[in-house]
Amino acid sequence: MIVIENLVKTYPAAAGAGEVSALRGIDLEIAEGEIFGIVGPSGAGKSTLLRCLNLLESPTSGRIVLRGDDVSQLTGAGQRQARRRIGTVFQQFNLLHSRTVRANVEFPLELAGLGRTQRRARADELIELVGLAGKEKAFPSQLSGGQQQRVGIARALASEPDVLLCDEATSALDPDTTDQVLDLLAELNGRIGVTVVLITHELGVLRRICTSAARLDDGRIAETGRILDLVGTP
């Protein structure tokens, strides 16, 4: 599903500082249908890896192969198209506050050029899928944090991505809500088969739903395997 080969990301030197090696040669394989966790301390390179995976950042070298297609060197229309194969769920939800739940979920479909009727039908299906039926016309400010993240998940699924990439997606939520959102991700993984990649600094998050994981440290994979085998797992 996803093959990452010798991925390197070096940020150029800025005022008063030398260059930063954020990723120092990452090799990783994530199988179809997995819930794969990426864990590591602050500064380990998790966000950089995530921005490379969702094509917001170009790696310095190396490859990211998604279902056989090298997506790491794309530009322009090819890159925009490939981005639709990867849905991202953000820590702070990143919803449009002046738009309703339905309009938020419709937004990527609007960008993709889908007609109004189709957009609406698709958005309402997704809203139901994440357990928010009846909230179509609500505004984000009228929802709890957990509900807002459900909208974020529905929006990320709108383009039927191969991969759902979760960036500290539960870090802004309380423990009970965290568990509910994680359980929803596991349910979606089982039901629609979407591969989930979860980036987190919390081992508890990994343990609840991930099938496999990698621990990142100082821009390198320190270990990878089944959750319970990870040396760093307390």
Residues that bind ligand ADP (CB under 6 A): 11, 20, 22, 40, 42-48, 125, 129, 157, 160, 191-192, 194
Q: How far is the CB of 48 from ligand ADP (least distance, A)?
A: 3
CA 86 from centre of chain: 8
Which lies closer to ligand ADP via its Cβ, residue 17 or residue 231? 17
Which lies closer to ligand ADP via its Cβ, residue 11 or residue 139? 11
- Axis-axis angle for helices 145-157, 101-111 (nearest 10): 20
Q: How far is the CB of 225 from ligand ADP (least distance, A)?
A: 20
Neighbours of 27 (CB within 10 A): 14
Q: How far, in Å, CA of 97 to CA of 3, rounded?
A: 36
Q: How far is the CB of 98 from ligand ADP (least distance, A)?
A: 25
Q: How far is the CB of 67 from ligand ADP (least distance, A)?
A: 13
Q: How far is the CB of 129 from ligand ADP (least distance, A)?
A: 5
Backbone angles phi, psi at 206, to 5 degrees: -60, -45
Q: How far, in Å, CA of 32 to CA of 67, rounded?
A: 9
Q: How far is the CB of 141 from ligand ADP (least distance, A)?
A: 26
Which lies closer to ligand ADP via its Cβ, residue 7 or residue 22? 22
Strand ranges for the chain from DSSP E: 2-11, 20-30, 35-39, 61-66, 69-70, 86-89, 163-167, 195-200, 212-217, 220-226
Backbone angles phi, psi at 134, to 5 degrees: 100, -15
Which lies closer to ligand ADP via its Cβ, residue 1 or residue 20? 20
| β-strands 163-167, 86-89 pairing | parallel
Which lies closer to ligand ADP via its Cβ, residue 10 or residue 233? 10
Which lies closer to ligand ADP via its Cβ, residue 109 or residue 182? 109
Q: How far, in Å, CA of 90 to CA of 56, rounded?
A: 14
Token pair of 108 as six digits: 């990527």
Which lies closer to ligand ADP via its Cβ, residue 62 or residue 139? 62
Q: How far is the CB of 43 from ligand ADP (least distance, A)?
A: 4
